[in-house]
Structure 1
């Protein structure tokens, strides 16, 4: 792998005049002959503070010269800069000890994999301090450097670097390498053996590290990965931390009814919360959801409160009064500890997002359907959104709140239009949602089939198509399946039906045209506006015993 490594002379010129020659010359071999470098690399940083003053490449080279001077004069690093390589925020790689043995890994600590820390590992310094975040250019340069060390044979050892990537703090009491901790592991984005991934979030990493340190002894707790990337294992770890603080034991990786009711019973919003650990959990959850919160997770300041109110708005909820926000807090916290998104994501549809927010506003906050949770508001039509729509439709059709479950079953069809609560925007909203097409499965082409279409006037009652079979023309059995659209490429053979402006009586005299090789009965319109038409096709034994027994097992339903 071809990379550019700037020689010592590029920064040695900024050393004091009496050390410039030593600083600029190729690195000397260490007085300690034990050097293999075949285990991997250690990551380091510059220490506390900020590197905001390192704006130019010249600034970075002067900083390296300062590090060299400190290490040279202190006498604890064999008379030279401690690190093998240094990488600045601009993505430039500089030679320190280079391919010679480095002395920056804490050699007095215990060996790793049978090698001393300086004997078996290269040391790489990322030129950031505790207040800084590594740039993408720096991360890519470190990644390229590690790949180079793994494939390039060191002429002094005859070996390549191993696959270990460790922080200086591994087995050693130090804060080094600061915010590079989340990258100092195999499989991170600086590991050339895995695909590149965008830089991690230091606040998510801080949350992951804190929740593991705080609750690793809690019954049932599952440690989450400290990667700096939000995932299910992170939000579920936060859920278990919440359960522990609420007195639920053992903790489980589910925000179930027990957790929901415990939050509801507590009735304390974050701005009035006195439990410091709960505030850390709430701040961490906001960071994981992509909202700004307290940088060190402690307390509940203006940033945290503003983000919480923004989250309410993104969900389509009214933060409003204390009573309103408090009533919705269990729902909000449950959604906060999931991977649902409430901002428009790339590829999301603003119209669908408006529907999602409407579902949350009307049917969760205003009406309070017991079985309904907040749906995502990301502009993506998903299963959760579909179920929320079904619950909304069930409510508008007059189904009792306790019976609403989001599933379309025969028992949830209202007996008449009188059971409908009235026009609802949810019916109109569904026109913006992509429709799923149902397919019909026919086991025998010779079966007699009956198709009925439910129409109603006045509008905007939705038109639904019911498909099923009957074994005789006089049967009034329930259709076996309901669909909102017909199968692609399949045209119904029903005769023209009642238009919205046609009175039901006008259809009484209509008869369907006779089909070839069979008979058909006249159409009949009931008082509820349901038109039944029987259609038969040419075939053999349409009323076979098998068909009759199959039909007898289907539930019955009398329209109107």
Structure 2
């Protein structure tokens, strides 16, 4: 685990003394719920992550309505898989919605948005598992892994990340991906470059097989608006809504589609 302490990321002191908590039922997973630039996930962008964590803490400390003691989360995980110490283990979170909910589960936040960067990277999913296991070993967290929306009226942690939670929060590479013979996710930017590729044809055929395609002719190798509309229907089939069903493939929905290798 790549653990980044409060001192290492430059945390400000807590406003009030943090409440000790002996143990919890488990961990709840969160996201930022705002726009996060896709560029934050670039391999050379990790240097920006500590500044983003500092900005989250600053916004929480400035929130007079919530009157937070500190950054609300126990741990935060960036797209590169690093685990940033927030309130830390054995400290009650301020993120789950009510004092009761805050006492029942720790809170781990992915640096992931409701727009922009909405799909967790494999490194981020691995880091979230690291964070959960850290809170189990160092904070006596129980076995439960839930989303913020479980027990509180919110969209957090967003469709893609919540689906991962519902799958049991698997660590990438543990056998829960699409499996041998299936095409790995080529990345969201692949589709936004309007590719002409046999992979687009293979994807379209799978959408036809799933009964969600809206092609009048095709599918073919050129990515078009019809492909995006068809893929949006696939995302809706998986339970995604709003910006999470925008028709641009993401890793979780792609793996679920099981596109054959070409």
Q: Same fold (TM over 0.5)?
A: yes
Query: How many angstroms does 1:145 deviate by?
Result: 2.0
- Selected match of 2:148 from 165, 168, 171: 168
**After the TM superposition, which residues 207-286 of structure 1 pair with which residues of structure 2 at under 5 Å, given as runs?**
270-271=215-216, 284-285=233-234
Q: How many residues align?
A: 205
* 1:10 is aligned to 2:8: yes
Partner of 1:85: 75
For residues 146 and 30 of structure 2, what CA distance do their matches in structure 1 show? 9
* Worse-superposed segment, 136-145 or 180-189: 180-189
Partner of 1:106: 97
Instruction: Please say if residues 163 and 186 of structure 1, whose CA atoms lie closer than 8 Å, have aligned partners that are also in contact.
Output: no
For residues 8 and 87 of structure 1, what CA distance do their matches in structure 2 show? 13
Answer with 1 or 2: which has the greater Rg.
1
Structure 1 residues 284 and 83 mapped into 2: Cα distance closer, same or farther (>3 Å)?
same
For residues 86 and 257 of structure 2, what CA distance do their matches in structure 1 show? 47
Deviations 1:191-227, CA, capped at 9 Å, x for gaps: 9xx93534998xxxxxxxxxxxxxxxxxxxxxxxxxx
Structure with higher strand content: 2
TM-score by length of 1: 0.32
Deviations 1:258-281, CA, capped at 9 Å, x for gaps: xxxxxxxxxxx7549xxxxxx978
For structure 1, the 5+ residue unaligned runs are 14-19, 109-115, 155-159, 202-234, 243-268, 273-278, 289-293, 304-338, 346-560
* 1:140 is aligned to 2:126: yes
Instruction: Please say if residues 77 and 103 of structure 1, whose CA atoms lie closer than 8 Å, have aligned partners that are also in contact.
Output: no
Higher RCO, Cα 8 Å, sep 6+: 2
TM-score by length of 2: 0.63
* 1:123 is aligned to 2:113: no
**After the TM superposition, which residues 515-554 of structure 1 pair with which residues of structure 2 at under 5 Å, given as runs?**
none
Deviations 1:306-352, CA, capped at 9 Å, x for gaps: xxxxxxxxxxxxxxxxxxxxxxxxxxxxxxxxx9988556xxxxxxx
Structure 1 residues 44 and 77 mapped into 2: Cα distance closer, same or farther (>3 Å)?
farther
- Selected match of 1:181 from 121, 146, 162: 162
For residues 144 and 88 of structure 2, what CA distance do their matches in structure 1 show? 18
For structure 2, the 5+ residue unaligned runs are 179-183, 186-207, 218-227, 238-242, 249-255
Structure 1 residues 195 and 174 mapped into 2: Cα distance closer, same or farther (>3 Å)?
same
**After the TM superposition, which residues 478-497 of structure 1 pair with which residues of structure 2 at under 5 Å, given as runs?**
none
Partner of 1:231: none
Query: How many angstroms does 1:51 deviate by?
Result: 2.5
For residues 32 and 121 of structure 2, what CA distance do their matches in structure 1 show? 15
For residues 97 and 286 of structure 1, what CA distance do their matches in structure 2 show? 35
Instruction: Please say if residues 165 and 186 of structure 1, whose CA atoms lie closer than 8 Å, have aligned partners that are also in contact.
Output: no
